[in-house]
Amino acid sequence: MATREVISSGNELAALAAADAGCKFFGGYPITPSSEVMHEMSDLMPERGGACIQMEDEIAGVAAAIGASMSGVRSMTATSGPGISLKAENLGLAQMAEVPLVVVNVMRGGPSTGLPTRVSQGDIAQAKNPSHGDYKSITLCAGNLAECYTETVRAFNLADRFMQPVFVLLDETIGHMHGKAMLPTEEEVTVGIKPRKEFTGDSSEYHPYGVAQDEPAVLNPMFKGYKYHFTGLHHDKNGFPTEEIETCRKLIERLFNKVEAHEEELESYEEFMMEDAEFLLIAYGSVSLAAKEAIRHLRAAGIKAGLFRPITMWPSPAKRIKHWTDKIQKVLIVELNIGQYRDEIQRASGRLDIEGLFKVNGRPISPYEIVEKVKGM
């Protein structure tokens, strides 16, 4: 596989990935620690024939991005936890109307204003259900600089495949980290782009939401001669509001099933030194970098530790989590919140004895802290 070597930050790599993946519109509003994504997009979009607009607030930013996506172009917004809270209603509209969108969330401390300039992984639970109602979220989490790029590219392809918002989680540490990354070439990314489906038959036979119960809607770009309706209300096969009992039931079940039926297609994870592991660490995002360093120290001390790192956070790689938690007795999850993903590990494993190492004061977890916790277990 051809590669290119770059020196950049995580936030800048997410923007570069969007441009390389064919994004033509960015709508957003600056918010620490994600602002560099928009700064970079403001340069990249005009260069690539696209547009970047700073709107008056986070709500308008996502609304503009959704509107651009309705016209058929790849579209993105970026923010942090408070911005996701503000965008929630429009994100629900995109779920219901089935509008593809990439949302980069560079996590910081919360709730509310929290710790704007400090690191956190406090948006894990929010990313599973960013808006009210029944649907199944798709959330990816970068664990190194290269993945800030590759997971953003993957998010655009998944958004068009499943016709819904796809979230890419960074955190303040990995978003502002500056270093070397090995990336696929732009040509390789371009070859991998799979455009969203379009209907090409007679307009009288076009029913965008009249699809199989495990498939997304087929929404042709606006202004191309096919008429249908966008709404946040329950709707029929043509997008028009309805309260008909069976139509409403099937619509909501399909929003859920179109993801659940294809979880293997979405699943992604890393297993580090797991071949002979007798102690299981689970970590994601920037914390996984500290976990890997801790594992090297633990193995030097004779403790056979290994790391399981979910990359697709939602839907979670539940079967693989259960595989390892059934096999290994001692399990520690390390995260920068108070156990938001531990709840999922407990659900997937069926175990309530999963140990946790958590920190919520805006400071990263060091390899030394992980080593000491493991030795104490």
Residues 321-376 have pLDDT tens digits of 999 999 999 999 999 999 999 999 999 999 999 999 999 999 999 999 999 999 99
Q: Is the pLDDT reported for residue 51 higher than 90?
A: yes
Q: Is the pLDDT reported for residue 26 higher than 80?
A: yes
Rounded Cα–Cα distance for residues 287 and 362 (Å): 13
Residues 286-311 have pLDDT tens digits of 999 999 999 999 999 999 999 999 99
Map residue 376 onto helix, strand or coil.
helix
Rounded Cα–Cα distance for residues 103 and 31 (Å): 14
HSE at residue 101, side-chain half, CA atoms within 13 A, is 33
Map residue 31 onto helix, strand or coil.
coil
* Average pLDDT of the segment spanning 160-173: 98
89's enclosing H/E stretch is helix 81-97
* Nearest in space to 19 (alpha carbons), one of 56, 47, 61: 47
Residues 112-148 have pLDDT tens digits of 999 999 999 999 999 999 999 999 999 999 999 999 9
Q: What pLDDT, on a 0 to 100 scale, did the predictor assign at position 225?
A: 86
Q: Is the pLDDT reported for residue 1 higher than 60?
A: no
Q: Is the dihedral of CA 307, 312, 313, 315 positive or negative?
A: negative
Residue 77 tokens read as 């917004």
Q: What pLDDT, on a 0 to 100 scale, did the predictor assign at position 195?
A: 87
Q: Is the dihedral of CA 67, 69, 74, 78 positive or negative?
A: positive
Eight-state DSSP code of residue 233: S
CA dist list (Å): 194 to 21, 138, 159, 177, 315: 10, 18, 10, 30, 21
Rounded Cα–Cα distance for residues 345 and 365 (Å): 20
Q: Where are the alpha helices (DSSP H) in 234-278?
A: 245-260, 263-266
What DSSP line would sit under 160-201, residue for residue? HHHTSEEEEEEEHHHHH-EEEEEEE-HHHHHHT--PPP---S
Residues 178-237 have pLDDT tens digits of 999 999 999 999 999 988 999 999 999 999 999 999 999 999 999 888 999 999 999 999
Rounded Cα–Cα distance for residues 218 and 208 (Å): 5
Do residues 355 and 374 touch, judged by C-beta distance below 8 A? Answer: no
Residues 55-99 have pLDDT tens digits of 999 999 999 999 999 999 999 999 999 999 999 999 999 999 999
- Those residues with Cβ within 8 angstroms of residue 202's Cβ, 6 or more apart along the chain or in another chain: none
Do residues 121 and 285 touch, judged by C-beta distance below 8 A? Answer: yes
Residue-range domains of the chain with CATH: 3-191 (3.40.50.970), 270-376 (3.40.50.920)
Encode 314-327: b = buried (16+ Cβ within 10 Å), e = exposed: bbbbbeebbebbee
Rounded Cα–Cα distance for residues 111 and 183 (Å): 34
Rounded to the nearest 10°, the torsion over CA 17, 22, 24, 26 is -30
Q: What pLDDT, on a 0 to 100 scale, did the predictor assign at position 194?
A: 87
